[in-house]
Structure 1
């Protein structure tokens, strides 16, 4: 296997799972932490990358270096060429796993993917969100991965609820299997009883409140969501919603409608209708500005400069004042 692997795509859940697979490769879990380095390209120095890759592993055959968002740092032909040359010489004592969110229509144009076609130094693997029509099948397979069973009608009902949000689907499946205690297949009535679709609905309402500058409502919705959802899971839902809003706004600016949004984004008609309505209340400039703020928050949280809960509260204040 190559010492350099590039994971890309728009399925954050699948990429996160693959990263965990790499982390679990260590034969001795007690040394995994000492042999793993996580770097955010935007904020790291070249020395930090060099030290992480060239440090000798401790009681293990390899070190694992996880590097996120390389395009944020290597953003011109010169720096990209230098980076490609550098990672062509990653020693056998290290495995460098690079990952980045890339939409399917942009994948073939991505600089690392184009380079990989002419280089044996890097292996690539794509993880794209399933289409809405394929989501029921994805749910059936994920239930099997979690050692359970689900009836087709229940899978279809859950697919309607979550759209193509694989992370949310994975969490709902875990709740459902715990509810039936893995002793019988999940049924449609179980989905209705257990799944909190209100989380996704509340994210829509949260984005509505932000678009209207209603800070009090946005804060109330945020705190209600945090009571029921893991903060990082909720953060993923918020980031995904604003990414969808940017794409929907671009479609609207091109004289498209909610049907075009549903087809282009591969989302359920309900999600497309809500997202189109929200996108119409934002300009593309304001959406891009918000998304840059989200990326900035993500970086600060990953580098322990701020807690995610405080960061989201601060975001609401900044966007509604």
Structure 2
């Protein structure tokens, strides 16, 4: 079961007796825990009826907690974070033998959960789906995979997150945000949630978040700055482009990271230029490059401002700058020169 489906079930009032939350997106695990707690326990019950373990307790201790009737209300919620019970077992070791014995004890506990206890296991590691315990959790409840959200899934997540703060986001601002996020090697939902919280605070009594708000609040985020930097380069605004670069260096962003982000954008411009010269439109370019449609449209427009030769030269120059920065032979002027050449 995926995260979205599991959350929809909870919101509809269907809460299962046991869950395994497995996958690297720990932020989603905490959100899921909160959704369960809000659905099952009143604020007054949480001091006595919510028990959280960081790591696996001894089987006897977990059994005791699970089988203890709630002091108030109808339910206990027991959370075991960073469990090791669902790892692939290592054969013929004392550690694996002990782990298997613990898993067998927990297996019996899960099969005989009292009606008044809801049990949640969480691990950031890959769960071994062959284990009896994994299959039993699936039979009695649900194993929820917490994979990083894809861009199309992120759209709804952003809208819901802002709605919870009493905010909406303008369509062009949402497309711009998703385009920027699509540049990130991996989306950290914890980081993104923090940036959305900043936007909600920045806009204060205004209900709609605009693209200008994004530019003001997220200007320190390297991907946002590089996105704006390429805009300035495309418009031949050399002063603005160099100022954006200087701002990133001033706040401590490492030149190697900026080179990598800029190289990725220039490489996509070069690819878009070649595809456009073959007669492909913006939507087809986006599909070929595997980018958000908004990014595809932007690349299709921007690549018209350059020759394929100029973009190829910039890609090669950025590759050389990357080597020089990593070997300590380059200074910030190397990037300045590449940007100035692109603005000509």
What TM-score does the superposition give when structure 2 sets the normalisation length?
0.50
CA contact (8 A) 2:110 2:136 kept: no
CA offset digits 1:219-262 (Å, max 9, x no partner): xxxxx99xxxxxxxxxxxxxxxxxxxxxxxxxxxxxxxxxxxx9
Judged with a 3 Å threshold, the aligned counterparts in structure 2 of structure 1 residues 140 and 84 are, in CA distance, closer, same or farther, namely: same
> 1 CA distance for matches of 2:147 and 2:213?
28
Answer whether contact 1:176 1:191 (CA < 8 A) is retained.
yes
Among 165, 173, 178, which residue is 1:154 paired with? Answer: 173
Q: Which whole-Å deviations, capped at 9, do the CAs of 1:68-114 have from their partners, x for residues lacking one? A: 12226875444433322221111112111111224xxx467463785
Q: How does 1:136-215 map to 2 (within 5 A)?
A: 136-162=155-181, 163=184, 164-195=187-218, 197-198=220-221
Q: TM-score, normalised by structure 1?
A: 0.53
Which residue of structure 2 aligns with residue 204 of structure 1?
Answer: none
Tell me the secondary structure at the aligned position of residue 34 of structure 2: helix
RMSD (Å), alpha carbons: 3.6
Q: In 2, are the aligned partners of 1:148 and 1:182 still within 8 Å (CA)? A: no
The answer to whether the 8 A contact 2:41-2:75 is kept is: no
Equivalent residue for 1:17, pick from 26, 31, 36: 31
Following TM superposition, by how much is the alpha carbon of 1:58 offset from its aligned partner in structure 2, in angstroms?
0.9
The number of residues matched between the two structures is: 204
> Which residues of structure 1 form unaligned runs of 5+?
202-223, 226-261, 282-321
Q: 2:18 maps to which residue? A: 4
Change (3 A) 1:27 1:40: closer
Name 1:111's counterpart in structure 2. Answer: 131
Alignment of 1:25-174 (within 5 A): 25-26=39-40, 28-42=42-56, 44-71=57-84, 75=89, 76=96, 77-102=100-125, 106=126, 109=129, 111=131, 114-116=134-136, 120-132=139-151, 134-162=153-181, 163=184, 164-174=187-197
Partners of 1:187 and 1:12 lie apart in 2 by 29
Counterpart-to-counterpart distance in 2, 1:194 and 1:130: 23
Aligned mates of 2:221, 2:202 — CA distance in 1: 18
Offset at 1:64?
Answer: 1.1
| Structure 2 spans left out of the alignment, 5+ residues | 1-14, 90-95, 225-250, 253-288, 296-317, 327-344
Inter-partner Cα distance in structure 2 for 1:146 and 1:182: 11
Provide, for residues 107-141 of structure 1, a one-character-per-residue CA deviation record: whole Å limited to 9, x for no partner: 67463785148x63232223321124654454234
| 1:176-229 residue CA offsets vs partner (Å, 9 max, x unmatched) | 12222252321111112112645999xxxxxxxxxxxxxxxxxxxxxx99xxxx
Q: Give, in angstroms, the shift of residue 145 of structure 1.
A: 3.8
**C-alpha distance after superposition, 1:3-26 (max 9, x if no partner):** 212222332222211111222235
